[in-house]
C-alpha cells in the first residue's frame, strides 16, 4: 500500500510540474526596429487588447532613414505576430506612439509628427486618415491616449521641446464623437512664473476612471539650479 501511495504521489507531482511548465508564458518577437530608441520613450512600443481578444502592438522605427509608425496584431491560430505594417511614414520625425482599444474592438492611436500630435482609428479593416489633434503651434511630442467610461477619447501631450525652455506645458483634449472633432486643449501643467521660476512638464500617461474622469501622471522638472524631477498625478473630467 505504501508503495502504491508513493507511486501515486510521484505521478501527481510529475503531472503538476508538467502543467506548470506548459503554463509558463512564452516570449515572442513582435517586430524589428533599427532605431536604438525603439525600446524607450521616443519610439517605445505600446500594446492593448480589444474585447474580442485582438492584440495590437504599435511602435516607431527609422527604417530607410524614414521615421515610421508601425503596427501589428497577434495571430492566435499560428501563435505568432503578423508582419508589421506602416501606419505613418516619412520625414520629418514620427515617434512617441500611443494606443488604446475601445468596446467596439476598434483601436485608436496617437503619435507625434514634426512636433504635432496626430490621431487615427483602426476599424478592423483599415486606419482612418490621420488628423491633427493639436490646435497650437508649440512643439508637442510625448503623448498618451485613453477612453473614459462614457466612451469619450482623451489625449494628453507635453510641449517639452520648446526652444525657449518656457512654454513647456502639459495639455489635454477630448473627443465626444469618436475622434471626428476635438475640443480645444486645456492646460494641466504650466510654468509657475514664466521666464522667472520655470518648470518643465513631460512624459504624461493617462488612465480611465469612473464617471467620465481620467487620471494623468506626469513628470515635472524644476529648471532652477537644483533641476529636480518630481512625479505628479491629477484627476480630470473636463471641468477640473
SS3 state at 154? strand
Task: Mark out the alpha helices in the chain (DSSP H runs).
Answer: 2-23
Return the number of other C-beta atoms located less than 10 Å from residue 81's C-beta.
Answer: 16
Cα–Cα distances in Å, from 214 out to 31, 231, 232? 31, 17, 14
Place of cell 503623448: 143
**Angle of CA points 28, 32, 37, to nearest 5°:** 110
- Domains of the chain, start order: 34-236 (2.120.10.10)
Q: What pTM value is reported for the model? A: 0.78
Digit-by-digit pLDDT tens for the chain (240 residues) are 555 545 555 555 545 444 444 444 566 666 655 555 555 555 578 899 999 999 999 988 766 556 788 899 999 887 889 999 999 876 566 678 999 999 999 999 999 888 889 999 999 999 999 999 987 777 778 889 999 999 999 998 887 665 655 556 788 899 999 999 999 988 876 554 444 445 566 778 899 988 899 988 877 766 555 567 777 778 887 765
Amino acid at each position: 500500500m505504501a508503495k502504491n501511495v508513493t507511486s501515486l504521489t510521484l505521478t501527481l507531482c510529475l503531472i503538476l510540474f508538467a502543467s506548470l511548465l506548459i503554463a509558463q508564458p512564452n516570449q515572442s518577437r513582435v517586430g524589428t526596429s533599427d532605431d536604438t530608441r525603439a525600446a524607450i520613450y521616443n519610439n517605445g512600443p505600446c500594446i492593448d487588447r480589444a474585447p474580442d481578444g485582438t492584440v495590437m502592438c504599435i511602435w516607431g522605427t527609422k527604417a530607410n532613414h524614414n521615421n515610421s509608425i508601425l503596427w501589428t496584431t497577434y495571430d492566435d491560430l499560428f501563435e505568432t505576430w503578423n508582419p508589421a505594417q506602416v501606419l505613418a511614414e516619412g520625414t520629418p520625425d514620427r515617434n512617441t506612439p500611443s494606443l488604446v482599444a475601445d468596446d467596439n474592438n476598434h483601436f485608436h492611436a496617437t503619435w507625434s509628427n514634426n512636433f504635432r500630435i496626430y490621431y487615427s482609428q483602426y476599424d478592423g479593416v483599415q486606419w482612418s486618415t490621420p488628423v491633427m489633434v493639436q490646435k497650437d503651434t508649440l512643439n508637442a511630442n510625448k503623448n498618451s491616449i485613453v477612453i473614459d467610461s462614457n466612451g469619450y477619447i482623451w489625449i494628453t501631450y507635453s510641449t517639452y521641446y520648446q526652444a525657449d525652455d518656457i512654454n513647456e506645458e502639459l495639455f489635454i483634449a477630448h473627443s465626444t464623437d469618436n475622434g471626428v472633432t476635438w475640443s480645444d486643449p486645456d492646460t494641466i501643467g504650466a510654468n509657475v512664473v514664466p521666464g522667472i521660476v520655470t518648470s518643465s512638464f513631460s512624459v504624461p500617461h493617462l488612465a480611465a476612471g469612473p464617471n467620465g474622469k481620467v487620471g494623468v501622471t506626469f513628470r515635472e522638472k524644476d529648471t532652477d539650479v537644483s533641476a529636480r524631477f518630481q512625479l505628479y498625478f491629477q484627476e480630470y473630467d473636463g471641468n477640473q
